[in-house]
Structure 1
Amino acid sequence: MGSHFILVAIAIMALAFTIASASDPMFVNGKFCNDPKLANANNFFSGLLTPRKTSNPIGLTVTPVNVTQIPGLNTLGISLARIDFAPYGLNPPHTHPRATDILVVLEGSLYVGFVTSNLENRLFTKRSFVFPEGLIHFQFNNGKTNAVAIAGLSSQNPGVITVANVVFGSNPKISDDVLAKAFQVDKKVVDHLQAQFWWPNN
């Protein structure tokens, strides 16, 4: 009799949870999912065609188009970014922990590449490229005119880790003893790098 009571109690709790969650907002991938009946065209639109200013220290502006900007991307496994480059603008070495990235140059000329994992550390470069998930890669406008590229990413929330920003701009700072040994430089070099403002490029 005791085991029947437990089974009935579990069934009642499961039914109550189902009823409660049917009326509560639903979250998928940590993002709120709109009721499909309430969706509108703005849930699927971005200003990707609008050029952005590049008058900053790295000569670059990234316009992300992911689930944060377009709620309709949630669960679709894709996102985009428009990247505007000033002449000699740089998208510094960075990685996307949750996405492979394919880059297409629309205007201008870019020097792009990625580095394979330890122990090889091989550099691959070209004009347009696929950057495998998690590998460090970069884009540099080596021309005298502006450049524009579109990146397609295999996640609605790819994330970005810019190497210099996280290593030298962390809060609190990584010990200069650690970084001096890791990069095999004097602590004064590390202190100088940690004192810089690391532009939030993504």
Structure 2
Amino acid sequence: MASGHILVAFTFLALVSLVLASDSSPLQDFCVAIDEPKDAAEDFLLKGLNIPGNTSNQLGSFVTPANVAQLPGLNTLGISLVRIDYAPYGLNPPHTHPRATEALVDLEGTLYVGFVTSNPDNRLITKVLYEGDAFVFPEGLVHSQFNVGKTKAVAFAGLSSQNPGVITIANAVFGSNPTISDDVLAKAFQVDKKVVDRLQAQFGTDIN
């Protein structure tokens, strides 16, 4: 009989822990510091997303974020967005958002997009997007976009977090501060340490 009660108690605790592990519903309409009601709208307004980003860089792309850092009214609302501009053959390189799923809409140009599933499959799922097409990148998975056209491209994306975070793979691996040991990276990527040193020189300043 006692073991039955223990089983019921453990089941109850497991269910409670599942409930507590999910995001809670907001307890108020919004959560920003408003000193004067007449200034409240400023926390919910962000201008300039119609302005193209400067794509004259090595990658040929520019991301303009609109998360809680730029738009305080997003605080506690669990959503943000970005504008991404691509030069012809510009690349938004492989990266992840550790806290958000991303839904991207192609507004102009032709984009080759895709993501890689988690271990052990590491399956690449790709598609070519044309104007008006949308594509979803699941939370935490490595993904990228490449402008395969001869003209510029523009996309907007919504993300399921007020602060989705971004980890650009090459920068994180070869440009960390301090640098990851070239012995570690050479073994991980099965290449000579000189290759690692060249990559670290390109993405960082501190070389082993």
TM-score (norm 1): 0.79
In structure 1, the residue matched to 2:41 is: 41
> Which of 177, 189, 196 is residue 190 of structure 1 equivalent to?
196
CA deviation string 1:57-79 (max 9, x = no partner): 11011000000000001011100
Q: Which residue of 2 aligns with 1:129?
A: 135
Match in the other structure for 1:156 = 162
Q: Which amino acid aligns with 1:104?
A: V
Aligned to 1:106: 107
For the residues of structure 2 that align with 1:84 and 1:64, how far apart are their CA atoms?
11
Change (3 A) 1:125 1:36: farther
Q: Structure 1 CA distance, aligned partners of 2:198 and 2:89?
A: 24
Work out whether 1:167 is the aligned partner of 2:173: yes
Structure 2 match to 1:179: 185
How far is 1:33 from its partner? 2.9
Quote the Cα distance in structure 2 between the aligned partners of 1:115 and 1:122. Answer: 5
Q: Is the 8 A contact 2:174 2:203 kept in 1?
A: no
Is the contact between residue 99 and residue 164 of structure 2 (CA under 8 Å) also seen in structure 1?
yes
Letter in 2 for 1:45: L
4+ residue runs of structure 1 moved beyond 4 angstroms? none
CA contact (8 A) 2:110 2:153 kept: yes
Counterpart Cα distance in 2 of 1:176 and 1:129: 36
**Aligned-partner Cα distance in 1 for 2:49–2:98:** 23
| Secondary structure in 2 matching 1:103 | strand
Gaps of 5+ in 1: 1-31
The superposition leaves residues 80-99 of structure 1 with CA deviations (integer Å, 9 ceiling, x where unpaired) of 00000000110110000000
Which has the higher mean CA deviation after the structures are superposed, 154-163 or 47-56?
A: 47-56
Are 2:78 and 1:72 equivalent residues in the alignment? no
RMSD of Structure 2 on Structure 1 (CA) = 1.4
Matched letter for residue 181 of structure 2? S
Map of 1:27 onto structure 2: none
Quote the offset at 1:44 in angstroms. 1.5
Q: Secondary structure at the match of 2:105?
A: strand
- Structure possessing the higher radius of gyration over alpha carbons: 1
In the alignment, the residues of structure 2 paired with residue 53 and residue 66 of structure 1 have an alpha-carbon distance, to the nearest angstrom, of: 19
Secondary structure, in 3 states, of the residue corresponding to 1:121? coil
Letter in 2 for 1:109: T
Give the residue type in structure 2 aligned to 1:178: V
Following the alignment from structure 2 to structure 1, what is the Cα–Cα distance between the partners of residues 159 and 167?
14
What whole-Å deviation, never above 9, does each CA across 1:30-79 have from its counterpart, x for those lacking one?
xx831375443221222211112210111011000000000001011100
Q: Is 1:139 matched up with 2:138?
A: no
